Structure 1
Amino acid sequence: MHEVLRGIGVSPGAVAGPVVRLAPPPPDPPEGGVVEDPGGEAARAEAALADVAAFLRARGAAAGGAAADVLDAQAMMAEDIELHERVAALVAGGRTAARAVHEGLLGYAEVLRGLGGYLAERVADLDDIRSRAVALLTGGRMPGVPVLDQPSVLVARDLAPADTATLCPDRVLGFVTELGGPTSHTAILAKQLGIPAVVGCPAAAGLREGAHVVVDGTAGEITVDPPRDVLDRVAARSASRAAVPDSTGPGRTADGAPVALLVNVGAVADAQAAAAVPSEGVGLFRTEVLYLGRGSAPSVQEQVEAYRAVFDAFAGRKVVIRTLDAGADKPLPFVGHAEEANPALGVRGLRLARRRPELLADQLTAIAQAASGCGADVWVMAPMVSTPAEAEQFADQARSLGLATVGAMVEVPAAAMRAAQLLERCDFASIGTNDLAQYAFAADRTESALADLLDVWQPALLDLVAAVADGGRRTGRPVGVCGEAAGDPLLALVLAGLGVTSLSMAPACLPAVRHALATHTVDECRGMAKAAREADDAAAARESVRRLASPRLLDVL
């Protein structure tokens, strides 16, 4: 008898294959022991962390795209000065190199977990660094993806970005993890690779090696010992997906209503690779990468050069650049963040300008200089805008420097509820569904046990998106979505039906979303949006839309 397990689908598509489990991490190094040469042990620990950093960078360079940015950020964590000082102090206290690295990284992880938000999401990255460094120091087996002798479904408690980035779709058909959520690095990389994936599935712990399963990354389901009719449907979906011709051109519904299709980018190299993908531009240019791992803020000139490289790559297209999204939950060493009881509700995003106004002033100056005379249509927006007054102040400052199109991120329920008043003060809004879900449901986006509350199909979250879209209609302003929700083909139809005018996503998601829009009219999208909002929960919302979707779309999802 077959069994269906449920998690969170983070990368669409369906595949069937045997289970292969991820190689486990090495055992914890033993406590105690005699350290005869503390200096030598400290040097061994230092070398192991350096080797792990070099390994991560090499793997990122080989993978390219967003993976290079993700793994470079992880390598910076292995090189963190405070981590190295912590490990050296533990060695001086009598720990072996392996035990000091183990305890040091566990302590570091607890600090980040307590901060919440973006940094708490990086705990899995630290666990990966710890496992690799301990394996090097103890001569143990390096954790990670085993050599596969046949195409398989990878199952793990969690999957490190370093392993996800280099998965070969010819061998790893899809993957399932017990932990994780829709905004993790692993989920983002799965979309880039086009590998069906389900995360946040605790029941995956019981999947045995060699068991035959179907992974449906669209529905977020794993079918164990699938019957023949399920396997036949998977094969038919795969054949239909392969037969869909590559499409280009602006996003349009079947009856010609425009829905702009854009890409999310981070570092310059990431943007230059994304520029080759047929899109209408960039809907979210994250600027945090330029600030991470530094002892001081980048100079105006350094920022100008980085921004101009991205603008030049998208000459003739729109580029929406977001100002620095940092704060107490993404601390930067040169900012001097104050102690906060709840960093996720603290001074982050635009609010950072209250303490360090020169950071925002320098960044807007650099954006304006880079935009001057470039071939791109540059729009600028601020993160974590909560009130119309904040939107107005930001817009006035940006316009005074010559930036013509200024907007606000909607990530806070207060902003969504007063969207019309906010949009009267600026030119556009862009909805960040990940943070909006976190704040709407009071659910930490790093807590796997609450992943169902962070599901972007939650009807209450769709109500907030609808409120922003209604504010856009009332003021004649465009409203986009740049969270991971935009890359879900079914949900893209709902968003279009709610009145969202642009969708920005990982480049690999564009073809399926373009196809979804092209096979449905505006009225059909509106009917799907209505059905989703009337549902009781996320699962019911998703299912109600599937029932209304065109078979031409369902055949390829």
Structure 2
Amino acid sequence: MTDREILGGIGVSAGTASGAAALVTPAAGVDPNEPASTDPAADGQRVREALAAVSASLRERAARAGSETSRAVLEATAALATDRGLAKAVDKELAKGSGVTRALCDATEVFASKLRKLGGYMAERVTDLYDIRDRATAFLRGLPEPGVPDLAEPAILVAHDLAPAETATLNPALVRGIVTEAGGATSHTAILAAQLGIPAIVQAKGITQRAAGGTVLAIDGGVGEVIIAPTPSDVEELEQRSRRRAQALAGSSGEGATRDGHKVKLLANIGTAEDAAAAAAKDVEGAGLFRTEFLFLEREAAPSIEEQTETYASVLESFGDRRVVVRTLDAGADKPLAFADLGPEDNPALGRRGLRLSQAREDLLHTQLAALAAAHARVPDAELWVMAPMVSTLEETRWFAEAARSHGLPRVGVMVETPAAAIRAAQLLDVADFASIGTNDLSQYTMAADRMQGELAHLLSPWQPAVLSMIRATCQGGAATGKPVGVCGEAGGDPLMALVLVGLGVASLSMAPSKVGAVCAALRLHDLDTCRQMANFAVDAPTADDARAAVLAIADPVLRDLV
């Protein structure tokens, strides 16, 4: 019998669940008995066939995916499986005499190292790359593919890590929860789990050893707690918490506002036109972040002005007269584009990305701005706001504002993702109409910690007082200029953190649509003065843990069931 034990992790998708553990089938790994390659050309073709089979399988999954976001993740992974760079790296290993699975494994590691050095979006794809390696290895060895087992009964998935390609196709009716040993709070897997409404915990060290298949688990995805072999009272407490949560959420609809009527717009983060249609059907006040790079990635040529106009008009039509905040192309060194390659950089995360790429390739920006203007002309009742990513200086702000206004766009803003932009927010907002804080990147750059490195997750917490100080500086800049400041990072979807952000002066919060209800309920439980008191306690706290504890101590007890 398994002894009761409590493991701590990082909660990335709120909710409670209990059930038997279902272990994700581990990767088979390199064949220890395979012979060395004596015909590299023939063996290289075998590996290409395996990778092509994996790509085809992923595309089939994409065709069955329930959302455009899931479909896009799967299609991007399928494209990575047939990347010529990976195949060439395999050829090099085969030429050294390695066997086929050893060559694939070593080549993948070389390729993964390159992606990690690129940082940002490309670093996020290392998990996808390993998933491709493991599936192709299984194909080469004639073994079952690793991954999520077929579930006959509802269960809690347990894995070292879970590839986004797996998460994207999970059935919430059968997957009660997700617990992984690796992963980060802002990974694709975490974001997809939240969108699916599946409670999820990452960085639960040792869970795969302690939770053999069939072991009963109870999890709280809000606080990041895993109970192994829970007692009946543990399960009952979680069920009661779930019922209390449902009761607290029952009245959380309509406009976002504190208990005393202070308005806070609650918006959705979207990435595609299909995401927009799905989000617009929910109880949200608009879209606070429309990531447009899905139109540009994995293409040999930039999308035409006509294609972009159709997509943007579709998004605006979905939301009617509600606000839609569009982020211009956030690509560059960390999200390289085949048609806009500015060359290798030693530190791409600090290189020519976002607005810096737009300044190097003005044609891309002006085409996008023209398409947005044309879409707005087709949907004139839409409340269109446009903002630039990776802004650091007043000169950059002026340059973008002049470009956007030259196309007749009505509201022009900037992303605050760097300490430079936060500290100088008042000066930037003298020129821009609004600012939106990207808490994920702001945390990364403030704390000098790679947001994709799970071991540094404690440094990337938005509860870090240094990060909160940056947010406060930005809001002070907004107050000084009378310009609104919003948040579109993952922090906005945390009900407890949302209270602090509002107390700091944030006017709008954008998040995964599934999180809006909990944030709305949290706001209605507290007045603005309490939110301001929470903000002061959090900023002045000595540590991130102290900040969260201080806020929770003065929050309405009902909130404990929402976080």
Deviation, 1:34, is: 5.7
Structure 1 window deviating more from structure 2 (177-186 vs 63-72): it is: 63-72
Determine the structure 1 residue equivalent to 2:137: 134
Matches within 5 A, 1:328-339: 328-339=333-344
Matches within 5 A, 1:47-58: 47-58=49-60
Residue type of the alignment partner of 1:235? E
Determine the structure 2 residue equivalent to 1:124: 127
CA separation of 1:520/1:293 partners in 2, compared to 1, >3 Å: closer, same or farther?
Answer: same
Q: Distance in 2 between matches of 1:401 and 1:266?
A: 23
State the Cα deviation string for residues 133-160 of structure 1 (Å, max 9, x = none).
1111211121112234543322211111
Q: 2:468 aligns with which of 462, 466, 470?
A: 462
Give the gaps of 5 or more residues in structure 2: none
Q: Distance in 1 between matches of 2:169 and 2:251?
A: 24
TM-score, normalized by length of structure 1?
0.94
Deviation, 1:80, is: 2.1
Q: Distance in 2 between matches of 1:376 and 1:153?
A: 42
1:515 equivalent to 2:521? Answer yes
Matches within 5 A, 1:139-150: 139-150=142-153
Determine the structure 1 residue equivalent to 2:83: 80
Q: 1:216 aligns with which of 220, 223, 238?
A: 220
State the Cα deviation string for residues 448-468 of structure 1 (Å, max 9, x = none).
211110112212111111111
* 2:332/2:341 contact within 8 Å kept: no
* 1:69/1:270 contact within 8 Å kept: no
Determine the structure 2 residue equivalent to 1:20: 22
* 1:31/1:95 contact within 8 Å kept: no
Q: Distance in 1 between matches of 2:63 and 2:131?
A: 18
Determine the structure 1 residue equivalent to 2:280: 275
Q: Distance in 1 between matches of 2:255 and 2:316?
A: 19
Q: Distance in 1 between matches of 2:557 and 2:492?
A: 21
Structure 1 window deviating more from structure 2 (459-468 vs 103-112): it is: 103-112
Deviation, 1:312, is: 1.7
Residue type of the alignment partner of 2:196? L
State the Cα deviation string for residues 222-257 of structure 1 (Å, max 9, x = none).
234445554332111111233332643221112211
State the Cα deviation string for residues 276-312 of structure 1 (Å, max 9, x = none).
1121111111111111111122222222222222122
1:231 equivalent to 2:243? Answer no
Q: Distance in 2 between matches of 1:537 and 1:176?
A: 26
State the Cα deviation string for residues 195-232 of structure 1 (Å, max 9, x = none).
11111233435423144433222112223444555433
Determine the structure 1 residue equivalent to 2:482: 476
Q: Secondary structure at the match of 2:385?
A: strand
* 2:252/2:518 contact within 8 Å kept: no
TM-score, normalized by length of structure 2?
0.93
Determine the structure 2 residue equivalent to 1:317: 322
Deviation, 1:40, is: 4.8
Q: Distance in 2 between matches of 1:8 and 1:357?
A: 41
Q: Distance in 2 between matches of 1:198 and 1:119?
A: 23
CA separation of 1:524/1:451 partners in 2, compared to 1, >3 Å: closer, same or farther?
Answer: same
Q: Distance in 1 between matches of 2:240 and 2:361?
A: 56
Q: 1:499 aligns with which of 485, 496, 505?
A: 505
Deviation, 1:381, is: 0.4
Residue type of the alignment partner of 2:417? E
State the Cα deviation string for residues 138-185 of structure 1 (Å, max 9, x = none).
111211122345433222111111221232333322122111111101
Q: Secondary structure at the match of 1:351?
A: helix
RMSD after superposition: 2.2
Determine the structure 2 residue equivalent to 1:59: 61
State the Cα deviation string for residues 389-417 of structure 1 (Å, max 9, x = none).
21111101110110110000000001101
Determine the structure 2 residue equivalent to 1:548: 554
Structure 1 window deviating more from structure 2 (28-37 vs 277-286): it is: 28-37
* 2:14/2:562 contact within 8 Å kept: no
Determine the structure 2 residue equivalent to 1:379: 385
Residue type of the alignment partner of 1:362? T
Determine the structure 2 residue equivalent to 1:344: 349
Deviation, 1:88, is: 4.8
Matches within 5 A, 1:44-443: 44-65=46-67, 66-88=69-91, 90=93, 97-209=100-212, 210-226=214-230, 229-243=233-247, 244-245=249-250, 247-374=252-379, 375-443=381-449
Q: Distance in 2 between matches of 1:152 and 1:188?
A: 20
Residue type of the alignment partner of 2:83? D
Q: Distance in 1 between matches of 2:534 and 2:59?
A: 44
Give the gaps of 5 or more residues in structure 1: none
* 2:117/2:123 contact within 8 Å kept: yes
Q: Secondary structure at the match of 1:329?
A: coil
